[in-house]
Amino acid sequence: MSQAPETGRGPVVTPVRVVIALCLVAPFVAMLWVGSYAKADPVVIGIPFFYWYQMLWVVVSTVLTMIAYKLWQRDQRARSTSKGGAAR
């Protein structure tokens, strides 16, 4: 073991990555907090709140995941561009 330890830093926390994390965590928190939606009223088109709230989160989760993915792609492109520019 004559190799020197790596001096690289760990993961970098940026505001974009915080937004990505919030986009991905929000649906879990909303669905795990059962007390907030464990009721029948208000009824929409004959569907009790409990059911339409969960169906709404399917759509919201999809949108939030798509936003997180697009932000992640943008962040990765920016990081690869900045690494490429620094090496030259």
Which domain covers residue 43, as residue numbers?
15-75
Q: CA-to-CA distance for 78 and 76, rounded, in angstroms? A: 5
Residue 37 in domain: yes
Residue 81 in domain: no
Residue 3 in domain: no
Residue 10 in domain: no
Count of beta carbons in the 10 Å neighbourhood of residue 16: 14
pLDDT of residue 86: 54
Place of tokens 């059911």: 51
Residue 85 in domain: no
Domain count for the chain: 1
Q: Mean pLDDT of successive 10-residue segments in the chain (88 residues)?
A: 60 89 94 87 90 93 96 90 64
DSSP H or E run through 75: helix 49-87
pLDDT of residue 6: 58
